[in-house]
Copies of this chain bind each other. A is one copy, B any other.
């Protein structure tokens, strides 16, 4: 049998990143290439207790079919929590619980984009979202990142040129992979530009609650008086990713289409995980847990950055982070980044070549991404020493 596939997916391949990611899980490799939250941060005891209680008191609720929109008490609680804490959600908004946050990106592209339409993205950006958009045959238009978020002039130019732009995709807090947080000023500009050009904004915020230093910047969705913003949240970084619980807060008409499309994918999100997530938010010390996690991530990130300062300077530069899981490292001009990352793998240190996050993987790139939450402290120390020696050999000649 000669298999042929739909145009939208014929060119979609497991990214080059997957080749390197394979090493992440192999023993003996230092997994700077991973993206896992720290397992120490999982509230294991609370989850075990909530789960046991659930099966004791109302097991059928956890095991029977449920509705597509999501577990009612979780939806209600999240809406009021997000309103109170982040001023997110207005009368015209509704909330959909999804099977992880990536489902929000996939459904948004499905619902909004015909093949050939454009999605405007930060360049570089999260490969899982980019591939979700690509899987609908859309054109990705990248907007370069600055230290405080997208280049707003480049964004306006993109909006002028891309007549079929449907939405702007942004990770405003501790962006993956750059670690950049968009300034409040740029958030306001971004919103104004979206309004001016009549395109929607998809605000993806998986890392906001990991902030361990500095001050929260208001969500773009908090500015949304016109129903322009689809907000995407996730429990993966603040509770546990294996549970696959995310959510979208979106204007009613968009919400309705997302629901219809989610229904044909998976009917509803695993209901055990929804009930446990609700219990964790309402019966446990959720804000205390966030604080504990922030301290844990802050300590580990500072430890990593100190070692980077010690071993990687002056060859490799990076922008210090105040949250999120990633550090974006830059090699000097003229150094072959891909060769550097390959040689690091030879020395049992796996990082992710930055080109994997570009709209076009073939563009030149001097950066690679490091994750500090998956490796142990000992692995981080070892890995930085190895990368430091490699940098000195490669860049110091």
- Nearest B residue to A269 via CB reads B244
Give the bracket for the number of chain A residues in contact with chain B. Answer: 35 or more
Q: Is the CB of A6 within 8 A of B110?
A: yes
- Knowing A1-B227, A110-B6 are in contact, say whether A131-B242 is a contact too (CB < 8 A): no
Q: How many identical chains are in the complex?
A: 2
Residues of chain B with a CB closer than 8 A to A98's CB: 266
Q: Which residues on the B side are within 8 Å of A65 (C-beta)?
A: 35-36, 236, 241-242
Contact present for A9 and B110 (CB under 8 Å): yes
Complex Cα distance A52/B198, Å? 51
Interface residue A328 (Cβ < 8 Å from any Cβ of B)? no
8 Å CB interface, A317-354 against B: none
Q: Are B60 and A8 in contact (CB under 8 A)?
A: no
A112 within 8 Å of B (CB atoms): yes
Q: Counting CB contacts under 8 A, is A47 at the interface?
A: yes
A39 touches B12 (CB 8 A): no
Known: A1-B228, A265-B103. A55 touches B47 (CB 8 A): yes
Q: Which of chain B's residues have a CB closer than 8 A to the CB of A42?
A: 59-60, 63-64
Known pairs A6-B111, A44-B59, A100-B267 / 9 extra A-B pairs, C-beta < 8 Å: A8-B110, A42-B59, A42-B60, A47-B55, A110-B135, A242-B272, A244-B270, A244-B271, A270-B272
Q: List 7 A-B contacts (CB under 8 A).
A: A6-B112, A9-B260, A39-B60, A65-B242, A135-B260, A135-B261, A243-B271
